[in-house]
Structure formats: structure tokens, C-alpha cells
């Protein structure tokens, strides 16, 4: 069932990828990189220098907090969050940090190396903490003015310090469209679908597969060269997780968790980016009260 669902969604994404993209005021063709599509996937972009397409007058395509990124990057990124669990019987709070380096090899492929650390503040037992890591590969499926799509594969190591002994295999597809041609000036629509599979030692009947999906809308208010407030953007992300197996499957909707994140994105300088956001649970029951997020990005471009 999972494979059929993923295949269906990927098929829809691929169909949309073939549609022409548009943006507001476009730069001359000589200043734009060539279009990458599914039709020329094997022949275009592999021998071209990495670049991030920018279309003047349109919505800037950027990384957000939850939604999977739809373009290739060259950056250092640091993420941190503090999660409050006021109603949880065992875990008072979770602190998490990660750091990654992403490097676009060319216009079609990118590698990313991630390291992370997590602390759990437990109520009735010793606190737990431990380190983990991941390796990610990203393929650019489509890169045309006003639209971008990418496919990600990731392997995450276990973190035995917090009781996680499974290896996580992740595949996802992510997309973005500039809504400026629809009269929504400098508004971008982002979306992604991700499937996680867990392998390794775990309790009998534990969750082994889940789906994560996200829809985000971002409005950019300033130009990128505005001092301290470059590309000042407000955005909202609606993201959900559905467990496909494990205990409690018969509980139906309780197996899907929905959250919303209002957030801010800004460039302090051309290459230094900050993002702030707060995760707020929408569905009940929920595992946390609020999650406070801070992200810093340094772009190598």
C-alpha cells in the first residue's frame, strides 16, 4: 500500500514537473542558466557548474524550516530547537542541534553531510543524550523559471545515547512554484512528501514506516540587498506525520499528527541567513506543547 501511494504521488509530481514555469520579470535569456527538466535529465546539467537560479521580480526560492529543499545548495547550516513537553508524563523537554555542509557538485547532484546531538530532560529517570549523523544525496529533477523540483535520499545513523538503535532510510520529493504570475507578488508555494523506513533492533510491533508531508507558503517583503533585513520573508508551514504501522494502528486519526509553524526568514548580509519559528500542535493528542526553532545558514555562493 505504501509503495503504491508513493508511486502515485511521485507520478503526479512528475506530471506537474513537465508543465512550463513562469515568473514575473525575467532576466534576459543569456543571463539565465539552461532549463533542466525530466526530458533532458540524462543530458543536461551534469557537466555544468553549480548555480542557484534567481529571477528578478519573482519570489526567491529559499530553504525553510520543515519542508524538504527543492534546489541544490552550497552552504553551512546550523539548526537548533527546544521542545516543551508540559503534558508529557516522562519527558519534560528536548534540546536538539545539528550542523551540516551541503555542496552542489554540478546542477544535477548535491551531497550533504550532517551531524547532530540531542538531549532529553526526563522526569523520573536519568537524562539521556547522544550524537548521530546522516548522509544525503539530492538530484535536481526540474529547474526552470518559476518552478523547481528535487529528489532526496538520506541515511541516518542510530543514536543509542537516547535509546534509538535503528538506522533510518529516507526518500523524499520536494517542489516549489512562484505564485507571482497569479497576482500574489513574491509569494512562493513549497511542498514535499517524505517516506521514512527504520531498520535495526526495536521492540516487537514498533513503528517501521511513516510518511511526512508539508505545504508551506512564503511572502517576501524586501529585496535581498536590504541591510539586515534582506529578503525579509514571513512564512507558514503546515506539516504532518502519519505512522504506517506500529502499536495503536486501530486508533485511526490518532496515528496522524498535524502541526503548524509560523516563522521568519531574513538575510543579515548577502550570505548570512537567520530563521526563527515556533511549532504549534494542531491535532490531539499531541506529544509536545511548543517547539522553538532557530536556524543559521551561511551560503557559499
Residue range 32-299 in CATH 2.40.160.40: yes
CA 125 to chain centre: 33
Rounded mean pLDDT of 226-245?
A: 93
Name which of 214-223, 241-250, 274-283, 285-294 the model is least confident about.
241-250
Read off the pLDDT of residues 110-149 as tens digits, 9 standing for 90 and up. 999 999 999 988 777 778 899 999 999 999 999 999 999 9
Joined grid coordinates for residue 233 = 520573508
The reported pLDDT for the residue numbered 40 is 97
Bigger pLDDT: 2 vs 297:
297
- 10 pLDDT higher than 60: no
Contact status, residue 292 vs residue 278, Cβ threshold 8 Å: yes
Read off the pLDDT of residues 147-202 as tens digits, 9 standing for 90 and up. 999 999 999 999 888 888 899 999 999 999 999 999 999 999 999 999 999 887 76
Burial pattern 237-263, b for ≥16 Cβ within 10 A else e, equals bbbbbebbebeeeeeeeebebbbebeb
Rounded mean pLDDT of 25-33?
A: 61
The reported pLDDT for the residue numbered 257 is 87
- 97 pLDDT higher than 80: yes
The reported pLDDT for the residue numbered 13 is 47
Q: Which residues contact 146 (CB under 8 A, 6 or more apart)?
A: 21, 22, 23, 55, 58, 177, 178, 180, 181
The reported pLDDT for the residue numbered 128 is 86
Joined grid coordinates for residue 2 = 505504501
Q: How far apart are CA 137 and CA 147, in angstroms?
A: 20
What is the pLDDT confidence band of residue 247, given thresholds at 50, 70 and 90? low
Contact status, residue 185 vs residue 165, Cβ threshold 8 Å: no
- 15 pLDDT higher than 90: no
For the chain, give every domain's residue range: 32-299
Share of the chain above pLDDT 70, in %: 84
What is the pTM assigned to this prediction?
0.87
Q: How far apart are CA 39 and CA 14, in angstroms?
A: 11
Read off the pLDDT of residues 39-92 as tens digits, 9 standing for 90 and up. 999 999 999 999 999 888 899 999 999 999 999 999 999 999 999 876 666 778
The reported pLDDT for the residue numbered 120 is 86
Amino acid at each position: 500500500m505504501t509503495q503504491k501511494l508513493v508511486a502515485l504521488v511521485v507520478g503526479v509530481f512528475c506530471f506537474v514537473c513537465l508543465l512550463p514555469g513562469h515568473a514575473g520579470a525575467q532576466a534576459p535569456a543569456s543571463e539565465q542558466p539552461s532549463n533542466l527538466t525530466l526530458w533532458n535529465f540524462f543530458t543536461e546539467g551534469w557537466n555544468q557548474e553549480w548555480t542557484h537560479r534567481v529571477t528578478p521580480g519573482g519570489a526567491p526560492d529559499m530553504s525553510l524550516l520543515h519542508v524538504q529543499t527543492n534546489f541544490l545548495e552550497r552552504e553551512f547550516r546550523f539548526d537548533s530547537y527546544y521542545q516543551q513537553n508540559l503534558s508529557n508524563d516522562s519527558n519534560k523537554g528536548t534540546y536538539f542541534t545539528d550542523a551540516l555542509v551541503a555542496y552542489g557538485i554540478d546542477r544535477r547532484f548535491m551531497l550533504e553531510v550532517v551531524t547532530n546531538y540531542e538531549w532529553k530532560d526526563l522526569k523520573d529517570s536519568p537524562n539521556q543524550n547522544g550524537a548521530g549523523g546522516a548522509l544525503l544525496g539530492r538530484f535536481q529533477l526540474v529547474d526552470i523559471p518559476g518552478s523547481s523540483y528535487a529528489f532526496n535520499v538520506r541515511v541516518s545513523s542510530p543514536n543509542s545515547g537516547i535509546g534509538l538503535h535503528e538506522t533510518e532510510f529516507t526518500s523524499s520529493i520536494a517542489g516549489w512554484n512562484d505564485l507571482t504570475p497569479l497576482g500574489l507578488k513574491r509569494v512562493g508555494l513549497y511542498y514535499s512528501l517524505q517516506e521514512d523506513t527504520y531498520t535495526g533492533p526495536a521492540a516487537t510491533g514498533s513503528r517501521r514506516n511513516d510518511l511526512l508531508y508539508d505545504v508551506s507558503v512564503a511572502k517576501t517583503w524586501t529585496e535581498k540587498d536590504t541591510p539586515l533585513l534582506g529578503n525579509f520573508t514571513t512564512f507558514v508551514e503546515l506539516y504532518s506525520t502519519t505512522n504506517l504501522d506500529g502499536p495503536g494502528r486501530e486508533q485511526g486519526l490518532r496515528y496522524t499528527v498535524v502541526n503548524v509553524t509560523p516563522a521568519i526568514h531574513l538575510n543579515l548580509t548577502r550570505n548570512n541567513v537567520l530563521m526563527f519559528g515556533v511549532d504549534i500542535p494542531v491535532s490531539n493528542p499531541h506529544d509536545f506543547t511548543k517547539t522553538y526553532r532557530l536556524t543559521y545558514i551561511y551560503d557559499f555562493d
